[in-house]
Amino acid sequence: MSGIVMSNPIAPGKVEAWRRFCQELGGARRQTYEASRRRLGITRERLALVETAFGSAAVTTIDARDVGRALGQIMTSDLPFERWYRERIQELQGVEQTSYDLRSERPPLSQNQELLFEWTSDPVPL
């Protein structure tokens, strides 16, 4: 199991849209979201909002059997959900998901973050 924590600023004026995006993942798009994450081998994903002196930031934590492969699939998949997800991230964070620099260290979670969404898969027998 491997994991990654990513933090990106939320575009000015997009904090409420970020909240709605997180709510949509847990609501109207939950089934397609869960199917996507299970297919990718993701076992946990957390989306949080952190207010900093420099503005609002989105913090995403992903645990997966192979986090590099999972992120690669999110970035390149032509499936409708992944395309929608990438478009929303680009709109809300200004991040074009074409690559990530994966690091082995896992920084601690900020004390002042507001967790907006979390999903954990059912344990999968090995």
Q: How far apart are CA 40 and CA 66, in angstroms?
A: 9
Question: How many angstroms separate the CA atoms of 43 and 50, rounded?
Answer: 23
CATH of the domain at 80: 3.30.70
Total count of domains within the chain: 1
Rounded to whole angstroms, how far apart are CA atoms 30 and 23? 9
> Which of 65, 70, 57 minimizes the C-alpha distance to 100?
70
User: Is 121 part of a structural domain of the chain?
Assistant: no
Pick out the chain residues at pLDDT < 50. Answer: 99-107, 126
pLDDT digits (tens, 9 = 90+) for 16-45: 999 999 999 999 999 999 999 999 999 999
Q: Is residue 68 in a domain?
A: yes
**Which domain, by its residues, includes 9?**
2-98
pLDDT at position 114, please? 80
Note the pLDDT of residue 37: 96
pLDDT on residue 110:
60
Cβ atoms of residues 89 and 95 within 8 Å:
yes
Cα-Cα end-to-end distance for the chain = 12
